[in-house]
């Protein structure tokens, strides 16, 4: 995850990332809670002192998932703000309907349908 600058504040350049670093990737997951490391995974940092530890209202964030298994589907990137997430109703998720599309609120069922079609 990386942050980008808003119109009113400078870029922080902080990031947060986790990876299953076992040789066979034995810890598959279907859900990641941002800023928490899933069991069996390791926290990945790219720059000393740049670990993202909290979210700010005036920032836009990017979250992405990628895989080294090319048969597993496309890498995914979704941008969001805290306002985007706060606007969600119960049962909705913030996601892009297709790779590189504009993210939007959608039901979990719509998300499942779109994600199945992109794999």
CA 36, CA 92: separation in Å to the nearest integer? 21
Asked if residue 7 and residue 52 are part of one domain, the reply reads: yes
Residue 117, pLDDT score? 82
CA 3, CA 82: separation in Å to the nearest integer? 12
Residue 17, pLDDT score? 83
Task: Fill in the DSSP letter of residue 91.
Answer: T
Asked if residue 110 is part of any domain, the answer here is yes
Asked if residue 66 is part of any domain, the answer here is no
Asked if residue 81 is part of any domain, the answer here is yes
- Sign (positive/negative) of CA torsion 100, 101, 106, 109? negative
Provide the residue range defining the domain that includes 42: 1-56
Q: Read out DSSP for 45-67?
A: -SSTT-B--S--TT-EEEEEE--
Asked if residue 112 and residue 85 are part of one domain, the reply reads: yes
Please state, as a whole number, how many other Cβ atoms lie within 10 Å of the Cβ of residue 74: 15
Asked if residue 83 and residue 36 are part of one domain, the reply reads: no
Asked if residue 107 and residue 77 are part of one domain, the reply reads: yes
Asked if residue 36 and residue 1 are part of one domain, the reply reads: yes
Q: Above 80 in pLDDT, residue 109?
A: yes
Q: Please give the tally of structural domains in the chain.
A: 2
pLDDT band at 119 (very low <50, low <70, confident <90, very high): low
The pLDDT tens digits of the residues spanning 21-72 come to 776 666 666 677 888 888 888 888 777 788 888 999 999 998 877 666 666 6
Q: Above 90 in pLDDT, residue 12?
A: no
Residue 114, pLDDT score? 87
Taking residues 89-94, what's their average pLDDT?
94
Q: Above 80 in pLDDT, residue 73?
A: no
Q: What is the pTM of this model?
A: 0.71
Asked if residue 64 is part of any domain, the answer here is no
């Amino acid at each position: 995850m990386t942050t980008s600058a808003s119109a009113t504040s400078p870029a922080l350049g902080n990031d947060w990332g986790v990876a299953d670093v076992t040789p066979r990737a034995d810890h598959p997951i279907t859900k990641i809670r941002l800023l928490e490391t899933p069991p069996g995974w390791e926290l990945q940092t790219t720059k000393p002192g740049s670990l993202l530890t909290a979210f700010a209202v005036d920032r836009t964030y990017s979250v992405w998932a990628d895989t080294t298994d090319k048969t597993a589907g496309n890498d995914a990137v979704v941008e969001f703000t805290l306002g985007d997430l706060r606007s969600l109703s119960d049962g909705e998720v913030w996601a892009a309907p297709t790779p590189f599309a504009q993210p939007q609120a959608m039901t979990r069922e719509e998300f499942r349908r779109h994600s199945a079609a992109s794999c």
